[in-house]
C-alpha cells in the first residue's frame, strides 16, 4: 500500500507509507483532511477499529474502545491506532486515544516512525501541534534517520518547519546521513520556501553531509533547482565549494547535463575571476566604494554627453572624445555595476538630471526668463517643496514591520496553536504575521505596512508612512519639469526662432542643436522624465481616488479575495452580499464577480485620508495604524461587513 495525496477524495483514508524514494514531492502545505459528514462506504457499524479511525467515525471508535480494545495494540502492519488518526488528521479521535493511555511516541509502520512523523510528512500542522502538546518528541529519528524537521523541509511544509524551530528544534539538525533541513529543501522543494525561512533562521550554507560532502548549493544543483540556487547564492553560498569527489556545484550541473544552469554558474565564476584579475578589482569588491560610484557615475555621464558637443572643436574630435569616454564608461559600468547596485541607478539619474537642470536654468536659461518677481518666487517655492517631498519620500521609514527574535517565535507559536499559521498571512522571511495591506518587499527584504510599491526613483518603498510625500514629490517634480521645458522653449525662441511649417522636425532639431547642444540635451532629459512622472502621477491618483487601492493591490487584485464581490449588471453594477442580496431582495441569476476595494470611502475622502488633510478641522481623515491592523471589523468608515481578512486570504507573500 502506498501513501495517498491528501488532495484526493477525503472520504478515502490515508494508508501507510512505504518508501520515501517513491513519494510524490510536495511544495505546499497540504490542506487538512475534512471530517466525513455525509456518505461513508458500506455500513459503519461493521467497521473495525482501524477503519473507523481512518474514516473518523467517532461513535464506532468509542464503541470498540469501550468494549475492551487496547488503544496501543498494533495491527497486522505494525501500525498503531494513533498512527492512523495522525495521518488522517483526526484530532478529536487523537484526544480520545490519549485519554485512554495511547503511547504518543510509538514507533511503527514500514519506516519505523512515530505518529508525529506521519502527521509531519502529510503536512497536518494542527495534528503536529496537538501531538506535541501531548509530549511527542520531534527530534526522534524514523527508520530512515530523519527527524520531523527534515521531513517537513523535504516536503515543503513551511508552516511546520517554522513551528518546529519555534519549539526549539535546531535549524541545522543533522539526519543520520548528515543532511540538514536546508539541504533537504534545496534538493526537494522547487520554490522559495521553506529554504527562505530556514535561511532567515540562520541555517548554515557551509555544512556538508557525511555521504557526499555536498553543501546545500550542491544539492540544489543535483536537482537543477534554479529558484533555490539563486536564493542560496544571494545569501553568500560558496560557488567553488568542493564535495568528497572534488566536485563544485558547476561540476554537478555539468554532470546533470543542465545546460541553462551550467551557463549561469559559468557566468558567475567568470565575473568573479574577472573582478580578481582586474586592475579595478580591489575597488570593485568594496561595496561602499561601488555604492559611491553608482551615485556619481550618472552625474559624470550626463555632463560628458552634453558638454563635449558644446565644445568649440572640430566635429571629428568631438566624436573621438565621445568614443573614448564611452569605452571608459563601459569598463567602469561592467566593473562596478551589478544587480545589487542596479536599484540605485534610477535615483542617481534623477539626482543628476535635477542637478544639471538647475545648472542649466541658472547659467543658460535665467537671462531669458520673465522679469516678474512672482514667476521667480513660484519657481523657488516649487523647488523647495519638491526637495522637501523628495527627501521625505526617500528617507522616511515607509512602514517597515519590526520584530525581534523573541516576538517572531511567539508569533509563530501563537498562530500555529490557534490554527491560523498560513503562508498568505505569515511572512516566511521576516517571520511575522502580516497586517492588512502589507507585503514583503524583495528589494528591501522587509515587510512594509500598506505596501504600494518599491520605487527606484526614491530608492525606497512607498508605504503607509511616506505615500503622501511620494504623491507630493511627483506633483512638484512634474511642475518643475514644466518650468524647465518653458525655459528651454523661451531660450530657443530668442536664440533660434523656429517655424514648424518652414523648418520641419529635422530643421527644428538642427537649429536647437546648433544654438546649444547642452540645452538640447537637458531638454531631452527633461522630456523623458516628464513622460514617466506624469504617467505615474496619473496612475497613482486614479488608484488612490477612484479605486482606493495600492499599486500592489491593483496588480494582484484577482488574488485578493477580500476585493471580490458579487455585482448585478442589471442594476447598474451595484454590489451584493455573499448571498446575492444588495437591497434586501434577490437579483436572480445575473450575478458576476466585481473587484471592489473594501477601503473605498469616495473619491474625495480617499485622497483626504491618504494626504491626511485636516484644513483646520474642516476635513476628518481616517487615521489607521496599518502596521497593527489585522482585521476590518473594528474600523469605522470602511466596508467591514464585506471584508474579513482572517478568512479571505487577503495577503500575498
10 Å Cβ neighbour count for 397?
Answer: 14
Question: Which triple of cell numbers denotes residue 493?
Answer: 525662441
CB 139 within 8 A of CB 109: no
What does the alpha-carbon distance between residue 226 and residue 228 come to, in Å, rounded to a whole number? 6
What does the alpha-carbon distance between residue 219 and residue 205 come to, in Å, rounded to a whole number? 11
What does the alpha-carbon distance between residue 336 and residue 143 come to, in Å, rounded to a whole number? 52
Decide if 221 is catalytic.
no
Dihedrals phi, psi of 440, to nearest 5 degrees: -85, 125
Helix (H) or strand (E) holding 183: helix 181-188
What does the alpha-carbon distance between residue 510 and residue 526 come to, in Å, rounded to a whole number? 19
Helix (H) or strand (E) holding 595: strand 592-595
Dihedrals phi, psi of 553, to nearest 5 degrees: -65, -40
Question: Which triple of cell numbers denotes residue 134?
Answer: 501531548
Helix (H) or strand (E) holding 447: strand 446-448
The residue annotated as part of the active site, out of 430, 455, 461, 576, is 455
10 Å Cβ neighbour count for 388?
Answer: 14
What does the alpha-carbon distance between residue 383 and residue 362 come to, in Å, rounded to a whole number? 13
CB 469 within 8 A of CB 399: no
At residue 588's C-alpha, the angle toward residues 583 and 590, to 5°, is 100
> Which residues fall within 8 angstroms of residue 576, CB to CB, at 6 or more apart?
565, 566, 567, 568, 582, 587, 591
CB 73 within 8 A of CB 64: no
What does the alpha-carbon distance between residue 436 and residue 631 come to, in Å, rounded to a whole number? 7
CB 409 within 8 A of CB 418: no
Where do the H-state alpha helices sit in 100-179? 115-122, 125-133, 148-154, 158-166
Instruction: Please report, for residues 76, 116, 121, the alpha-carbon distance to residue 17 in angstroms, rounded to integers and kept in the order given.
Output: 14, 13, 9
Catalytically active residues are 455
Amino acid at each position: 500500500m502506498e501513501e495517498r495525496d491528501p488532495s484526493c477524495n477525503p472520504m478515502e483514508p490515508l494508508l501507510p507509507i512505504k518508501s520515501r524514494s517513491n513519494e510524490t514531492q510536495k511544495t505546499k502545505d497540504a490542506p487538512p483532511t475534512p471530517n466525513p459528514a455525509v456518505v461513508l462506504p458500506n455500513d459503519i457499524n461493521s467497521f473495525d477499529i482501524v477503519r473507523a479511525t481512518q474514516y473518523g467515525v467517532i461513535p464506532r471508535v468509542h464503541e470498540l474502545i469501550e468494549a475492551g480494545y487496547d488503544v496501543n495494540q498494533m495491527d497486522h502492519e505494525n501500525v498503531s491506532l494513533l498512527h492512523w488518526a495522525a495521518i488522517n488528521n483526526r484530532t478529536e479521535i487523537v484526544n480520545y486515544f490519549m485519554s485512554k493511555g495511547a503511547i504518543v511516541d510509538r514507533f511503527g509502520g514500514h519506516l519505523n516512525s512515530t505518529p508525529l512523523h506521519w502527521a509531519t510528512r502529510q503536512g497536518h500542522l494542527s495534528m503536529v501541534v496537538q501531538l506535541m502538546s501531548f509530549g511527542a518528541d520531534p527530534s526522534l529519528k524514523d527508520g530512515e534517520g530523519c527527524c520531523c524537521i527534515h521531513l517537513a523541509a523535504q516536503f515543503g511544509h513551511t508552516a511546520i518547519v517554522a513551528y518546529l524551530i519555534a519549539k526549539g528544534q535546531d535549524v541545522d539538525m543533522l539526519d543520520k546521513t548528515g543532511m540538514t533541513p536546508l539541504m533537504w529543501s534545496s534538493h526537494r522543494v522547487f520554490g522559495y520556501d521553506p529554504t527562505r525561512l530556514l535561511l532567515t533562521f540562520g541555517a548554515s550554507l557551509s555544512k556538508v553531509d557525511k555521504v557526499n560532502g555536498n553543501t546545500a548549493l550542491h544539492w540544489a544543483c543535483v536537482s537543477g533547482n534554479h529558484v533555490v540556487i539563486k536564493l542560496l547564492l544571494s545569501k553568500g553560498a560558496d560557488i567553488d565549494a568542493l564535495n568528497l569527489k572534488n566536485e563544485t556545484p558547476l561540476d554537478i550541473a555539468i554532470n546533470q547535463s543542465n545546460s541553462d544552469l551550467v551557463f549561469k554558474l559559468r557566468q558567475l565564476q567568470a565575473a568573479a575571476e574577472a573582478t580578481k584579475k582586474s586592475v579595478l578589482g580591489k575597488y570593485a569588491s568594496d561595496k561602499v566604494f561601488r555604492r559611491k560610484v553608482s551615485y556619481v557615475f550618472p552625474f559624470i555621464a550626463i555632463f560628458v554627453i552634453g558638454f563635449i558637443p558644446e565644445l568649440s572643436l572640430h566635429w571629428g574630435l568631438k566624436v573621438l572624445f565621445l568614443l573614448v569616454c564611452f569605452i571608459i564608461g563601459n569598463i567602469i559600468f561592467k566593473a562596478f555595476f551589478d544587480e545589487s547596485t542596479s536599484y540605485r541607478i534610477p535615483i542617481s539619474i534623477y539626482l543628476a538630471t535635477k542637478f544639471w537642470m538647475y545648472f542649466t536654468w541658472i547659467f543658460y536659461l535665467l537671462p531669458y526668463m520673465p522679469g516678474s518677481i512672482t514667476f521667480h518666487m513660484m519657481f523657488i517655492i516649487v523647488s523647495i517643496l519638491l526637495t522637501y517631498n523628495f527627501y521625505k519620500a526617500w528617507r522616511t521609514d515607509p512602514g517597515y514591520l519590526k520584530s525581534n527574535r523573541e516576538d517572531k517565535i511567539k508569533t509563530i507559536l501563537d498562530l500555529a496553536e490557534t490554527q491560523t499559521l498560513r503562508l498568505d498571512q505569515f511572512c516566511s522571511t521576516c517571520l511575522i504575521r502580516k497586517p492588512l495591506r502589507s507585503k514583503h518587499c524583495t528589494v528591501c527584504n522587509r515587510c512594509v505596512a500598506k505596501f504600494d510599491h518599491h520605487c527606484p526613483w526614491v530608492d525606497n518603498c512607498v508605504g503607509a508612512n511616506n505615500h503622501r510625500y511620494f504623491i507630493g514629490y511627483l506633483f512638484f517634480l512634474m511642475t518643475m519639469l514644466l518650468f524647465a521645458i518653458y525655459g528651454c522653449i523661451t531660450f530657443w525662441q530668442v536664440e533660434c526662432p523656429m517655424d514648424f511649417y518652414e523648418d520641419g522636425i529635422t530643421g527644428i532639431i538642427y537649429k536647437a542643436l546648433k544654438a546649444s547642444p547642452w540645452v538640447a540635451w537637458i531638454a531631452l532629459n527633461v522630456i523623458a522624465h516628464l513622460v514617466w512622472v506624469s504617467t505615474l502621477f496619473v496612475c497613482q491618483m486614479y488608484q488612490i481616488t477612484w479605486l482606493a487601492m495600492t499599486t500592489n493591490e491593483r496588480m494582484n487584485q484577482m488574488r485578493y479575495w477580500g476585493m471580490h464581490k458579487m455585482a448585478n449588471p442589471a442594476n447598474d453594477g451595484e454590489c451584493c452580499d455573499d448571498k446575492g442580496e444588495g437591497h434586501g431582495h434577490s437579483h436572480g441569476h445575473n450575478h458576476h464577480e466585481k473587484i471592489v476595494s473594501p477601503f473605498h470611502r469616495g473619491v474625495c475622502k480617499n485622497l483626504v485620508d491618504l494626504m491626511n488633510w485636516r484644513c483646520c478641522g474642516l476635513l476628518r481623515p481616517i487615521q489607521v495604524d496599518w502596521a497593527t491592523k489585522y482585521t476590518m471589523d473594528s474600523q469605522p468608515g470602511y466596508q467591514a461587513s464585506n471584508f474579513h481578512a482572517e478568512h479571505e486570504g487577503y495577503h500575498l507573500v
